Amino acid sequence: MSTPYDAIVIGSGQAGPSVAARLAASGLRTALVEREHLGGTCVNDGCMPTKTLVASARAAHIARRAADFGVTIGGPVGVDMKAVKARKDAIVGQSVANLTRWLSGIEGLDLHWGHARFVSSHAIEIGGQVLEAPKIFINVGGRPVLPDWPGIADAPVLTNTTLLELDRLPEHLLVIGGSYIGLEFAQIFRRFGARVTVLEVADRLIAREDPEVSRAVQSILEAEGIRFHLAVRKARVRAQGPRVAIEFEDAAGAQALDGSDLFAAVGRRPNSDDLGLQHTRIATDARGFIQVDDCLRTNVPGIWALGDVNGRGAFTHTSYNDHEIVLANLLDDDPRRVGDRISAYALFTDPPLARLGMNQAEARTSGRPVLVGRLPMSRVGRARERGETQGFMQVLVDAETERILGATLLCIEADEIVHSLLDVMAAGASYKVIRRCVHIHPTVSELIPTLLADLRPLAATA
């Protein structure tokens, strides 16, 4: 016996709940299936908890710098890790409670708890119960992978999920992976007071960015006392009671580190491997991402894949945008496409790195005539007033079309001010629109028109 629905949504990440709510509101009997926690990665062990920790870490950092601002604290700055975690848990708990209340009150929407697996193209099984529907939406996200270093399977390795549950300060945190997740946690725990060492197999951090960005981020983090080993080779991990030892080679030769805790942040893989896809014809690529077209349809009619599992984005905003694209095409006769999306994301270190569109390397290979505007933050009044002049702002413009091609902002408020550039890019307008705009003084945004006032040809080599 199976239970018939008009639509089934698998996974309550950043796309699933909104798809399910809208389908139910439009009269379709809808099932939303979740195996663990409402809100998925972003709310429970991704964006939201990490950003609450970023806020606690920044409070500690600014408190330690209090004297720079003429403020006396009258003793050493301490961090109460139990209180930090309690604050994080309360903020996450509030979001999950809001989501639960919202989803429970939607007429026509049934919430099913359990791990869903396809038993045929239009039927899934959850704990012995079979549900079937002509429309199925897959929003199952991804999970962390561990490096394949010898010894790692026998060592106590933390992932983003378990590191967020710590309510004690690691004495020496070893971070494997010098990319977005690894660097955010590295700075967070350094600011809480831990010794932090980052190991990266590439010869620079965040290797998808331009080399000067990698260097700038590294030097900002080194100035806070984080140590880095790049181009790590031949690493071996050894558990030593509760501690961990790593031996490896880098450019300086053989190295050995001893850490109280080991955290791996070397990438994520899609949750498509235990979804019963073998009982369907749904196609995945070699890495397990479910293949979709520009409207997020899989190759099986009536089945869509949204969020991290489709490999078309790896962010909360891309997953949420996936839900908008699917619903626009399905219900609103609005032909929105993934291809219309401008790449935008941030690394939430302090100062944050915000990125839009092309970087310099991509602009060079695009074959276009490119202009670049660049401003060090030491020239930005607001940054000097705040005593936070690290980093720079950089914008790339197509010399012929006058359109903005990309931006790299490594500075205070970068994650917020970048949106003025994104909106002008999305409008397909000339950079002169923003160049002639009068921004509020004294802000960081105020310098974006200035940045665009002095554009020069991009050098042919980095």
Ligand X SMILES: Cc1cc2nc3c(=O)[nH]c(=O)nc-3n(C[C@H](O)[C@H](O)[C@H](O)COP(=O)(O)OP(=O)(O)OC[C@H]3O[C@@H](n4cnc5c(N)ncnc54)[C@H](O)[C@@H]3O)c2cc1C
- Vertex 67: Cα angle to 63 and 69 (nearest 5): 90
d(CA 420, CA 412): 15
Please select the residue that binds ligand X; options are 5, 7, 8, 14, rule is CB under 6 A: 14
206 binds ligand X (CB under 6 A): no
298 binds ligand X (CB under 6 A): no
178 binds ligand X (CB under 6 A): no
* Cβ-Cβ contacts under 8 Å for 294 (sequence gap 6 or more): 337, 338, 339
DSSP 342: P
308 binds ligand X (CB under 6 A): yes
Note whether 256 and 237 are within 8 A (CB). Answer: no
33 binds ligand X (CB under 6 A): yes
What does DSSP say about strands 261-264 and 157-158: parallel, antiparallel, or unpaired? Answer: parallel
Least Cβ distance, residue 189 to ligand X (angstroms): 13
| Catalytic, out of 172, 279, 419, 441 | 441
Please select the residue that binds ligand X; options are 5, 137, 315, 392, rule is CB under 6 A: 315
Least Cβ distance, residue 171 to ligand X (angstroms): 22
Dihedral of CA atoms 90, 91, 93, 98 in degrees, nearest 10, equals: 140
What element of type H or E holds 42? helix 40-45
Residue nearest to ligand X (CB): 141
Residues 57-116 that bind ligand X (CB under 6 A): 115-116
Kindly report the number of other CB atoms within 10 A of residue 316's CB atom: 20
Residue of 146, 199, 192 lying closest to 166 (CA atoms): 192
13 binds ligand X (CB under 6 A): yes
Q: Identify which of residues 41 and 197 has a Cβ nearer to ligand X in the complex.
A: 41
Note whether 295 and 305 are within 8 A (CB). Answer: no
271 binds ligand X (CB under 6 A): yes
Structure-token pair, residue 87: 């604050």
40 binds ligand X (CB under 6 A): yes
Q: Identify which of residues 142 and 357 has a Cβ nearer to ligand X in the complex.
A: 142
Q: Identify which of residues 19 and 375 has a Cβ nearer to ligand X in the complex.
A: 19
Per-residue CA distances from 452 to 85, 404, 456 (Å)? 42, 10, 10
Q: Identify which of residues 267 and 302 has a Cβ nearer to ligand X in the complex.
A: 267
Can 229 be counted among the known catalytic residues? Answer: no
Structure-token pair, residue 177: 């992976």
Q: Identify which of residues 40 and 391 has a Cβ nearer to ligand X in the complex.
A: 40
Look at residue 330 and give its three-state secondary structure.
helix
160 binds ligand X (CB under 6 A): yes
Look at residue 126 and give its three-state secondary structure.
strand
15 binds ligand X (CB under 6 A): yes
For the chain, what's the residue count? 462
> CA 262 from chain center: how many Å?
21
18 binds ligand X (CB under 6 A): no
Which one of 38-46, 331-339, 364-372, 427-435 is the stretch in contact with ligand X (CB under 6 A)? 38-46
Instruction: Give how many residues touch ligand X by CB under 6 A.
Output: 36
Query: What is the contact mask toward ligand X in residues 413 to 442, using x (rule: CB under 6 A)?
Result: ------------------------------
Report phi then psi at 158, rounded to 5: -90, 145
Which one of 66-74, 133-141, 324-332, 424-432 is the stretch in contact with ligand X (CB under 6 A)? 133-141
- Contacting residues toward ligand X, per CB under 6 A: 10-15, 33-37, 40-42, 46-47, 50, 115-116, 139-142, 160, 181, 271, 275, 307-309, 314-317, 319, 348
Q: Which residues are marked as active site?
A: 441
